[in-house]
Structure 1
């Protein structure tokens, strides 16, 4: 795995809807900009060797960093793969949609649900939203949220941005009724 850079973003929302948020609502993102392991190889039928060589190491690298950046117990989480223009969306999906990657975050966050994800092919500087859901119950509406991310110089055409996001709470000032009220 060839990592060009790691970016850490922490967002604290202090007011929402004209009211104070106390404690502040914190979301953290850690993104690694890596060389696409399939770059320059043409169409690769079997992605398994690249997954085996990269996915687990990425999970080990990013999961503890995002939990540390959050600085609080994780309540909601998500992931992203943004593939540079010379790659395929499948390259990003191959790295993040495997237990070899995701289980590192699940263990670090003490989570049990599937990680919500976004993946797409895009030029450097594209904006992408990482969806987040509750770490043990994806039906808890208060934790359905997203965080917008933009990396000015990534991904280059032969790179992939792999990112994890964690929130210490649900949406600030959330007030939707429980899903069970509609069932």
Structure 2
């Protein structure tokens, strides 16, 4: 389900729209998973505060002003969409910069403590947040990776959710995304990094060339 959220909580960041996507997997391979995981992403479409600026422009002032607003805006809606912060087990983040911006503008909003640290705190996580970013025209789909919010080595929670806003980003906009899941992939059974055997070229009898 994709819906447009109609309230406009903060005009200072040039917010044009918010888009929420949610899904629930009830069966996989013909069977119900032990725990039907719910996944969601929330995308904020904002004006790019650096559009048209040169590559030597200092990004810090706008970064420290805009990113914390986005962190609160997106995580509040993720928490509401997934039934509370205690329900959330995995998280991820992403950004798509319009064609008038630099890929560095995406990093300025999601790869710094002004966003990442606050998203982690609001979602009660401990792990580094996995991410994706790109520069693209409106309507680009971005696959957002997720992993466990407190145990990044928990392979069962390695999963993705696709995010797309049909009319964004415009050339002078950025789409900033936070995503989360309430559980692992359906029927996880490929082991865990903490319990894996040691595998090297020396421990295997044959490594295909």
TM exceeds 0.5? yes
1:18 maps onto 2:30 in alignment: yes
Q: Distance in 2 between matches of 1:50 and 1:182?
A: 47
Determine which structure has greater relative contact order: mean sequence separation of CA pairs < 8 Å that are 6+ residues apart, divided by chain length. Answer: 1
1:110 maps onto 2:99 in alignment: no
User: Which has a greater percent of strand?
Assistant: 1
- For 1:30, the equivalent position in structure 2 comes to 42
- For 1:68, the equivalent position in structure 2 comes to 80
Q: Distance in 2 between matches of 1:36 and 1:182?
A: 47
Counterpart contact for 1:14–1:22, Cα < 8 Å:
no
Q: Distance in 1 between matches of 2:27 and 2:168?
A: 31
> Normalising by structure 2, what TM-score?
0.84
How many positions carry a matched residue from both structures? Answer: 183
Q: Distance in 2 between matches of 1:80 and 1:175?
A: 27
- For 2:59, the equivalent position in structure 1 comes to 47
Q: What is the SS of the residue equivalent to 2:196?
A: helix
Q: Distance in 2 between matches of 1:63 and 1:103?
A: 12
User: Which has a greater percent of helix?
Assistant: 1
Greater radius of gyration (CA): 2
Runs of 4+ more than 3 Å apart: none
- For 2:19, the equivalent position in structure 1 comes to 7
Aligned CA distance change for structure 1 residues 101 and 156 (closer, same or farther; 3 Å): same
1:45 to partner: Cα distance = 2.8
- For 2:71, the equivalent position in structure 1 comes to 59
Aligned equivalent of 1:182, options 154, 177, 197: 197
Q: Deviation per CA, 1:20-71, whole angstroms, max 9, x where unpaired?
A: 2354210011110000010122334311112122111111111111111111
Counterpart contact for 1:67–1:108, Cα < 8 Å:
no
Unpaired segments ≥5 residues, structure 2: 1-12, 199-209
Q: What is the SS of the residue equivalent to 1:100?
A: coil
1:17 to partner: Cα distance = 1.5
1:177 to partner: Cα distance = 1.2
1:160 maps onto 2:160 in alignment: no
Q: Distance in 2 between matches of 1:85 and 1:14?
A: 38
- For 2:183, the equivalent position in structure 1 comes to 169
> Normalising by structure 1, what TM-score?
0.95
Unpaired segments ≥5 residues, structure 1: none
Counterpart contact for 1:51–1:94, Cα < 8 Å:
yes
Name the Cα RMSD after superposition.
Answer: 1.3
